[in-house]
Amino acid sequence: MTPLNPAGSAAPAALTPDAVLEQAGTGRFQRRMLGIFGLVWAADAMQVLAVGFTAPAIAQSFGLSVPEALQTGTLFFLGMLIGAAVFGRLADRFGRRRIFLITVSGDALFGLLSVISPNFGVLLGLRFLTGLMVGGSLPVDYAMMAEFLPPKSRGRWLVLLEGFWAIGTLAVALAAWGAQAAGVADPWRWVFALTALPALIGIWLRLRLPESPHFLLRSGRAAEAEAVLERVLATNGRPGLPAGRHLAVPAVGGKPRLFAPGLRRRTGLILAVWFLVSISYYGVFTWVPAQLAQQGFGFVRGFEFLVLLALAQLPGYALAAYGVERWGRRPTLVGFALASALGCALFALATSPAVIAAALLLMSFALLGTWGALYAFTPELFPTALRASGMGAAGAMARLGGLLAPSALAFVFLQSFGTAIGLFAFLLLLAALLSLPIDVETRDRPLD
Q: Which CATH superfamily is domain 17-242+258-435 in?
A: MFS general substrate transporter like domains (1.20.1250.20)
User: Any idea of the CA torsion for 152, 371, 128, 285, to the nearest 10 degrees?
Assistant: -160
Q: Please give the pLDDT value at position 104.
A: 87
List pLDDT tens digits, range 269-301.
Answer: 999 999 999 988 888 776 666 666 555 554 455
* pLDDT of 108 strictly over 50: yes
Question: Helices 187-206 and 96-115 sit at what angle, rounded to 10 degrees?
Answer: 160
Question: 13 pLDDT band (50/70/90 cuts)?
Answer: low
Selection from 162, 42, 146, 39 nearest residue 382 by Cα: 146
CB contact at 8 A, 398 and 275: yes
List pLDDT tens digits, range 296-353.
Answer: 554 455 556 667 777 888 888 889 999 999 999 999 999 999 999 999 899 888 777 7
Q: What is the mean pLDDT of residues 387-414?
A: 79
Percent of the chain's residues with pLDDT above 90: 31
Domain ranges, ordered by start, for the chain = 17-242+258-435
Gap between the Cα atoms of 437 and 80, Å rounded = 28
Gap between the Cα atoms of 229 and 241, Å rounded = 8
Q: Where are the alpha helices (DSSP H) in 63-119?
A: 66-69, 71-94, 96-115
Gap between the Cα atoms of 231 and 240, Å rounded = 9
Q: Please give the pLDDT value at position 7.
A: 46
Question: Helices 120-146 and 71-94 sit at what angle, rounded to 10 degrees?
Answer: 40
Selection from 49, 12, 4, 23 nearest residue 307 by Cα: 49
HSE on the CB side for 69, CA within 13 Å? 21
Gap between the Cα atoms of 162 and 371, Å rounded = 8
Q: What is the mean pLDDT of residues 362-367?
A: 91
pTM here? 0.79
Q: What is the mean pLDDT of residues 194-220?
A: 85
DSSP annotation of 247 reads: B
Q: Please give the pLDDT value at position 188.
A: 87
From the number of C-beta atoms within 10 Å of its C-beta (0-12, 13-18, 19+), residue 371 rates as buried
Cβ neighbours of residue 139 closer than 8 Å, sequence gap 6 or more = 84, 87, 88, 91, 388, 391, 392, 394, 395
CB contact at 8 A, 146 and 387: yes
